[in-house]
Structure 1
Amino acid sequence: MAFSETTAVAVGDLTFDVRHAGPDDGTPVVLLHGFPTTSLSWSPVVPALADAGLRVVAPDQRGYSPGARPADVAAYATDRLAQDVVSLADALGLDRFHLVGHDWGAAVAWYVAAHHGHRLETLTTFSVPHLAAYNAALAHDADARERGSYIGLFRREGKAEDLLLADDARRLRAMYQGAVPQHLVDAYVAQLQEPGALTAALGWYRAMTPELAGLPSVDVPTTFVWSDDDLAIGRAGADACGAHVSADYRYEVLEGVTHWIPEQAPDAAAAAILDRVRGVDPEAPRPI
């Protein structure tokens, strides 16, 4: 079962496009996409989750939904992105839920777990480790700094948009490394070519602040999945991730897989999510 419907969900002055799958009374799992993708990035993963009886909720996040594109860069600060997740859960009647994120969606998921962990049953993240581990790697590991050098460009207003959208978004399309199905690439690019969309998506990078490096540890049962052909995220930060999780922690490495795990390795991604969701001990204490 793929996504069955898309609904518009209002959160304050913003309206988010949210894709759904699975039974309405199923165990809820919220999927957060990264850059430069949309909630469609989870399409290859969703059938396994829905068939397992999960209620799948996948929003196009702030900047990606046309009704949620504030002009101010400060509107894309990570704490606001995390609050969007909690507010969307409130709007959908989800008291507690399983949270999954890839790339920037993983970064937001780590923030939610660190500051709103009482709302989560479990956490599963792909590619981006806990932000304290990632930032420590940027500070001390040459390989991590080289892999993350693109961030400086993305933070330059106007320059990144011009480069990425030139020649029918040739450089933007190249970022997917040939690992993402063409129909998904076309869908991502079309959405990011909408007026103001790419600037809004890049706002996530431009609103980053130094305190993300000091993100608290999380006390939520967590699985982190990294792939060894990831051009953006190196091993140093990935290997250090577990030091920032005080609950049950699983670390998986996918060999020969690029950064684009949900699209390139959907079976492995779905298995990691399902194993984590099914592995919850209902008697275990939860953060308050």
Structure 2
Amino acid sequence: MGRMGLFRDAPQGVAAVASSILACIVLGTLLERFGPGNVHSGLPTFGAIWVVTAAASCAPWNYALTRFFICRTGATFVTLDANQFTCSLMVVLNVIGTATAEATEWGNLGHGVTQILSILVLSEITIHSGMAADTAWRVSLIVPAVFCLVTATGLKLLRRNTSTAARLDVSVTGKITKSLLWDSFEVLKDFRVVVRIMLYSTSIRTELAMNNQLTTRFRTYFLMDAADVSVLAGSFGLLNLVPYLCVHYVDVLCPGHLG
């Protein structure tokens, strides 16, 4: 990867974050039209294709392109975390805050786990197979691609769109008009949506940017061992366990006591 100049160039990181944001904007319409089950299984399937494609990267521009498409899978945050969609369909109101917290913290924990496992998988392939580093990282991409496909299959076959029906019918929520892409911009008229966007941008998007950069920073500027780098960067994701749960418990308890 270093041969492609990726450690000295940042366009692929910008492309990755931009892709995830654009996908989230479109996802609202897709969720209402096709249901969270279909959308959620489709995203990792799409991502798996581009993860394998990334293994053939030989220049910064095509690696940036594959990262752009791979990070559309990051939009699963909208469906999986459920604090925006799925929990409102699957969980009763008196526990929705707790359910949201649990889903969010364990979902974000995946960032930390991925940092650790990716380096371990790469190290094992490099050490035990004798592959060159430039070949080993390409082969290691088979692992996340397989995980994506297995996850997508499970999401398609084992989950329901709502707690009472296999298919989503948006009319039960009171919506009578067809879902359109413009709806994603129409909701900006509500100032509470804008406030939440600002809060998300300062927390979750910052977290994603950190997860994208920490490993490279520690490895390049501090010359740390790859295994140590993965654990240190992964610990950033592990920190999500406590804050999310505390914040959502406060969010649930305060209205009852403060009105």
Choose 1 or 2 for highest CA Rg.
2
- TM-score, normalised to structure 1, is 0.23
Q: Which has the higher strand share?
A: 1
Q: Which has the higher helix share?
A: 2
- TM-score, normalised to structure 2, is 0.25
